[in-house]
């Protein structure tokens, strides 16, 4: 019963608070203006992440009573402080348009802080690195993981309902994966799932409000942190792979886009339309089809991760997921998308 209460509290809080955020955002002029790279064609409030953050934070504080010991409470504190910090970084960018290096510096400091509280990656699915990593390497990998996922979700937030729905799917999978070993962390994943599902009430097409960088940074950090501390931990290759399997789509999307930008001798932060949702739109797929396709591509690796915990069949499923993603990207990759303008409405 308590898990449903946590989930419902997050969802209802976000649903109730979002119209207030939208009203005040319009009054204060915190809107996202359309331009050649974006899909929407009218100004839309861009600080909806405030409602997501409040809804999830309420659920997290309710879940906090389930953490059993002192070390677990340090992790709980790290999740709260890290979530607040990443949200504040994104919200400052929404309001004051920070430089990419300022944002990255703030994310580095936050990653070091939460690492010291126990939110860390201590193994990698690579030969010789499935045991506990040295402290310096764990700190570096944790920064890349947390900041990378925050920016990956931010980059995925390019269509109505896309980032919120993808996070809903991934958070639900993380809750299922961690329930047997880390029920308190699973409750926090459920709270995150409830908050994003509630936000979809207003963010699904046609979107009436955007989550902004505050929302996307918070969601990316939350998914990465929960995956780092909530999944089963041992020295096997399979368990080290689980966080990366659950979040496969944003990881691959970001990796391929950065690789393409660097190959063109451009900054990794150079804005363009190379992301998978842009490419699917340029291939003339309907907007709803694009969004649901990416939801499906997110769910399949999650189901594969669930299967990996119990059966070798999970490897076949994960291989199928990679093949589907590879075929999708390969068929769309040659398209010249850098300077194209999409004549559709949306985010």
pLDDT (tens digit, 9 = 90+) per residue, 134-184? Answer: 999 999 999 999 999 999 999 999 899 999 999 999 999 999 999 988 999
- Average pLDDT estimate for 225-245: 87
Strand partners, 31: 45
Structure tokens given for 252: 């691959």
Task: Classify 30 as helix, strand or coil.
Answer: coil
pLDDT value at position 344? Answer: 37
Mean pLDDT computed over every residue of the chain: 88
Candidates 202, 223, 214; CA nearest to 347 is: 202
Phi, psi for 310 (deg, rounded to 5): -130, -20
Q: What is the mean pLDDT of residues 220-230?
A: 96
pLDDT bin (cut points 50, 70, 90) of residue 123 is confident
Element spanning 31, H or E:
strand 31-32
Given a contact cutoff of 8 angstroms between Cβ atoms, the answer to whether 210 and 164 are in contact is: no
Q: What share of the chain is helix, strand, coil (3-state, %, to 5)?
A: 70, 0, 30
More confident residue, 204 or 345: 204
Q: Which of 48, 2, 97, 102 is nearest to 219 (CA)?
A: 48
Q: Kindly report, residue by residue over 28-46, the tens digit of the pLDDT.
A: 999 987 765 555 567 899 9
Higher-confidence residue of 344 and 240: namely 240
């Amino acid at each position: 019963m308590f898990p449903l209460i946590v989930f419902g509290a997050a969802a209802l809080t976000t649903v109730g608070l979002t119209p207030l955020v939208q009203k005040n955002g319009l009054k204060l002029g915190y809107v996202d203006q359309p331009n050649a790279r974006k899909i929407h064609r009218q100004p839309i409030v861009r600080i909806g992440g405030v409602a997501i953050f409040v809804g999830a934070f309420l659920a997290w504080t309710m879940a906090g009573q389930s953490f059993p010991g002192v070390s677990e409470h340090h992790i709980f504190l790290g999740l709260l402080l890290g979530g607040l910090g990443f949200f504040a970084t994104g919200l400052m960018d929404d309001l004051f348009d920070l430089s990419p290096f300022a944002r990255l510096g703030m994310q580095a400091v936050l990653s070091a802080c939460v690492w010291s509280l126990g939110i860390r990656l201590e193994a990698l699915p690579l030969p010789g690195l499935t045991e506990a990593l040295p402290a310096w390497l764990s700190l570096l990998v944790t920064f890349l993981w947390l900041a990378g996922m925050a920016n990956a979700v931010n980059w995925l937030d390019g269509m109505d309902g896309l980032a919120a729905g993808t996070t809903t799917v991934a958070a639900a999978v993380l809750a299922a994966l961690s329930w047997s070993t880390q029920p308190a962390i699973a409750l926090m994943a459920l709270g995150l799932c409830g908050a994003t599902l509630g936000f979809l009430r207003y963010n699904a097409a046609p979107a009436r409000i955007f989550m902004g960088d505050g929302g996307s940074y918070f969601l990316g950090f939350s998914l990465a942190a929960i995956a780092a501390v909530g999944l089963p931990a041992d020295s096997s290759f399979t368990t080290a792979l689980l966080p990366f399997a659950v979040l496969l789509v944003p990881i691959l999307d970001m990796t391929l886009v950065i690789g393409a930008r660097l190959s063109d001798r451009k900054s990794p932060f150079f804005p363009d339309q190379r992301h998978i949702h842009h490419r699917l739109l340029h291939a003339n797929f309907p907007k709803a089809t694009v969004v649901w396709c990416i939801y499906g591509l997110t769910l399949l690796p999650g189901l594969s991760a669930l299967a990996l915990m119990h059966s070798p069949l999970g490897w076949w499923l994960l291989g199928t997921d990679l093949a589907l993603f590879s075929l999708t990207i390969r068929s769309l990759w040659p398209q010249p998308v850098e300077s194209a303008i999409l004549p559709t409405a949306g985010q």
